[in-house]
Structure 1
Amino acid sequence: MLATALLVLSQTAMPSQTLVVTGENPAVELANCIERKCPAEQEIELSLRVSVEDFADGRYRNARATRQRSIRRNEDQVSRLPRQVSSLHATLATAAEHKGDTGLWLESFRKNVTILREYIGEIHPETLAQKLALADNLLKQHQFGSADSHCESVQFDAIQSGLLQLATAALFRRAWLSFMQNKDTEARQLAIEQSPWSTVIVRQSKWRQYSP
């Protein structure tokens, strides 16, 4: 019963980014863009488009190489385009995961979080959401201690910033991690702790619904 409840609680939605693409041949567009030394914003977007197509078609090696080359080309743009560069690292992590390259997978995701922390802010919602995603990746590698540490950090920062949904998401994960380690008493306590937060979230959502 506890396992089922915690599994449901752990599946809390997190903010996501959607890339809308246009054009018929992004690989050619990217090559032309690089040749004419187009703006970094355009080159990164095209690199992501090409790698997304490669990834969707199962060409994981190509998708990984495209992202790595774009990262090298735009290392000096991170302070100006932190979100775009961090996205390259995050998507590189996804490609590395599908190729079974655990080292590159976790390294890329940590780099993604590091960039957001340094240039977007330690307690910015985007940063905290990506820290939770990193915790999920660590969980897949059975690095329970590191995963819980990240979740606890997100929980604390989110509470201090009034980001109740992120705080609850972190708490859900901590409860699930405790259960995974056969710490049933701790898991139950964490699951109980989330109830007041859920109540507050519901109340705030209703207030926002009727606010001008």
Structure 2
Amino acid sequence: MIPFAFVLLQAAVSSQAAAPPPVAPAQSVDGEGKTIVVVGRRVEDSARALAACIARQCPPKEEIDASLAYAEDQFLAGDYPEAQRTLAKARGRNMRYKRELPVEVGDLLRASGRMLAVNGQRDAARITAIDSLDALKSGLPSTDRRIFIQRLAVGDAFAKDGRFIAARDVYNKVANQAAAAGDVRVKGYALFRIAGLYTSIAPLVPAYRQTAFDSLRRIDETTEPDLAPFRDAAKFLRCRLQGTGVNAGRDCIAATNTDRVSKAELIYAPPIDLNNWRQENPSTVARLHGEATPQWADVAFRVAPDGTVHDIDTVRTSTDVDAGWMKLVTDALGERRYRPLERAPSDPGLRRIERYSIVYDVVSMKGTRIRARSSVPHIEILDLTVEPGMS
């Protein structure tokens, strides 16, 4: 699938932060039709399984799998710090196997980077994304698609950090390397990320408008048949430039959005602006440092056949979740638009579920080398939807 949702979810939060989840829970529906998150294992069970694996000196691949399973359960339970500690310990035990197990160690590092991000360790998350790339490079051919994809993830980390030029350079490198290797699809991913990056910025920073148009033209001028879906999707990105402000192009997107698809494909996501929430919450504005433990919520919703969103339901939250920012989340969800589905108008549509976490990054304090939590929050969005065919 074209990573259009990545681009739009970036634009949907104040920090442009979005990433795929390290884990995916199962789902069920109760008698009232509400989606419920169902964790397949208890945290205690996966903890015992990992401890037993380590005790019997199981093979590194099994130990990595057990560590990922335990961290997954900790994450789903909302224990972000412990999930990260589990992955950090697994990294310490298994980094020496990166040449023999480049994919497994790369997966471990990628999951660790994602958990670092939701724990507010953005710099460490970016470095860990690079470490994951290095692990793959240590044991795979240089033209392996998995290396290209992880290099894109490094670019994503730069983009989330506001380092747009660095992100663009990484994406360009992948586009050129993939083209040389004959991997047209990955070339499309890279070009689309560049266009998505600049079309997300341009409505807020007009100086980037021409660069955004140039990046779209670069996609339009491709001729490979495999890039036709990217040329089609570029029409939606171009709509973002039809006007000004964060909601630019919504009407254009609605008019262009005619082709029906079988899976949920996000094409418009309004921003979640936390500024009003902070101003209305005096304790947040006055706070010198943000909270170390993120508030979080799992929000389910249904994508209707016409691409609108309804049946928004907060199914699980941390004990301290603030209703103010959650309202901003659900309001923004209600304004999303997806491509129409290949379903009858009377069909209930597709259920989705996402984890929202409000995070205060660790930053260097002005005028000192001391690092502390920023007082400015941002939202990390992780898609927890179990797609058909996933186990």
Fold-level match, TM-score > 0.5?
yes
- TM normalised by structure 1 equals 0.81
Distance 1:112 1:80 in 2: 14
Q: Report the alpha carbon displacement of residue 186 of structure 1 after superposing the two structures with TM.
A: 2.6
* Pair 1:139–1:189, CA change in 2 (3 A): same
Q: In structure 2, list runs of 5 or more residues that go unmatched.
A: 9-19, 26-38, 230-391
Residue type matched to 2:137 in 1?
A: R
The correspondence for 1:172, drawn from 192, 197, 202, is: 192
**Identity within the alignment, %:** 23
Provide the C-alpha distance between the structure 2 equivalents of 1:55 and 1:172, rounded to a whole number of angstroms.
31
Please give the per-residue CA displacement for 1:165-210, whole angstroms capped at 9, x wherever unaligned. Answer: 2111111222233442633223212212212437521679xxxxxx
Q: Which has the higher strand share?
A: 2
Tell me by how many angstroms 1:61 deviates: 0.9
Match of 1:103 in 2: 123
The amino acid of 2:102's aligned partner reads P
In structure 1, runs of 5+ residues without a counterpart are 1-6, 205-212
Q: Distance in 1 between matches of 2:106 and 2:116?
A: 15
Q: Taking structure 2 as the reference length, what is the TM-score of the superposition?
A: 0.46
1:131 paired residue number: 151
Give the SS at the match of 2:182: coil
Higher fraction of helix: 1
Superposed CA deviations along residues 87-122 of structure 1, whole A, max 9, x for unmatched, are 111111111111101122111111011111232133
Contact 1:123 1:158 in 2 (8 A): yes
Question: Partner residue of 1:90?
Answer: 110
Structure 2 CA distance for aligned equivalents of residues 199 and 129 of structure 1: 20
Moved more, 183-192 or 173-182: 173-182
Which residue matches 1:157?
177
Size of the alignment, in residue pairs? Answer: 195
Indicate how the Cα distance of structure 1 residues 148 and 169 shifts in structure 2: closer, same or farther if over 3 A, else same: same
Partners of 2:22 and 2:111 within 8 A in 1: no
In the alignment, the residues of structure 2 paired with residue 9 and residue 48 of structure 1 have an alpha-carbon distance, to the nearest angstrom, of 23
Distance 1:16 1:168, change over 3 A: farther
Alignment partner of 1:73 is 2:98 = no
8 Å contact 1:10–1:169 — kept in the other structure? no
Residue in structure 2 matching 1:62, options 70, 82, 90: 82
In the alignment, the residues of structure 2 paired with residue 88 and residue 46 of structure 1 have an alpha-carbon distance, to the nearest angstrom, of: 11
Q: Is the 8 A contact 1:168 1:197 kept in 2?
A: no
Report SS of the residue matched to 1:183. helix
Query: Structure 1: how far apart are the matches of 2:135 and 2:148?
Result: 12
Contact 2:22–2:114 under 8 Å retained in 1:
no
Question: Match for 1:46 among 41, 54, 66?
Answer: 66
Give the drift of 1:8: 7.5
Write out per-residue CA displacement over residues 20-76 of structure 1, whole angstroms, 9 at most, x where no aligned residue: 998762210110111111111111110000001101111111111111111111122
Give the 3-state SS of the residue equivalent to 1:197 in structure 2: coil
Determine if the alignment matches structure 1 residue 189 to structure 2 residue 209. no
Distance 2:225 2:176 in 1: 16
SS at match of 2:53: helix
CA distance in 2, matches of 1:91, 1:151: 21
**Equivalent position of 2:161 in the other structure:** 141
RMSD of the alignment, in Å?
2.9
SS at match of 2:222: helix
Partner of 2:132: 112
String of CA shifts for 1:138-182, please: whole Å, max 9, x gaps: 111101111011000000011111211211111122223344263
Q: Distance in 1 between matches of 2:95 and 2:127?
A: 16
Q: Which has the higher contact order (CA 8 A, sep 6+)?
A: 2
Query: d(CA) in 1 for partners of 2:151 and 2:21?
Result: 13
